[in-house]
Structure 1
Amino acid sequence: MNSSNPYPENERPVEAWCDPVSLHVKLADGREVVTPLWWYPRLFKASASERNNVELMLDGVHWPDLDEDLSIRGMLKGWKYPDAVAPRAVA
């Protein structure tokens, strides 16, 4: 990582999508970061169409329909919204 560049090339998102339970982000170095949708209440409550209207940024992912931005660093560190609550398991 170049100290003058706060966004390491290996952490640049190259693809992002949501399945019914997870957010997936593929990084430039080939890693795939997968986090639960419930970590991000706006994404969790959004429609599939809204979730999959995604724009990649230099350091994260943006959902224009939801006015939501997530950083790659935050996902790599396991950050979730403070008020995020895991859904109750259905027996």
Structure 2
Amino acid sequence: MTTSEIKPGEQVKDVHFTEDSLSVDLMDGRTISVPLAWYPRLLHASPAQRQNWHVCGGGFGIHWPDIDEDLSTEGLLRGAPAPRNTMSHVA
């Protein structure tokens, strides 16, 4: 069985955006960059809404109150896009 252990260096330091990506700087010096299209709420949010974020979850999460979006460093490190509610499960 494989378990993912959260490490203190994986805490959020900063969040920034380009036109098509979300980047999260971690305390250990790494930067996670993912396509903004993976997170439709962030993709369709205004620049002001994207900039209004808070660190949560003991430092391992990011919350955008204006759009009710939450991401974790664990999910970002796994490369997990937002669930697609409109897509059926494909085996």
Q: TM-score range by the shorter chain?
A: 0.7 to 0.9
TM-score (norm 1): 0.79
Which runs of 5 or more structure 2 residues have no equivalent in the other structure? Answer: 86-91
Spell out structure 1 runs of 4+ moving beyond 4 A.
none
Residue-by-residue CA offset, 1:33-63 (whole Å, 9 max, x unaligned) = 0011100010011111111111112111111
TM-score (norm 2): 0.79
Greater helix proportion: 2
Which runs of 5 or more structure 1 residues have no equivalent in the other structure? Answer: 1-5, 85-91
**Is the CA contact 1:23–1:37 (under 8 Å) kept in the aligned structure 2?**
yes
**Is the CA contact 2:6–2:74 (under 8 Å) kept in the aligned structure 1?**
no
State the shift of 1:8 in Å. 1.8
Identity %: 42
**Is the CA contact 1:17–1:54 (under 8 Å) kept in the aligned structure 2?**
no
State the Cα RMSD in Å. Answer: 1.5
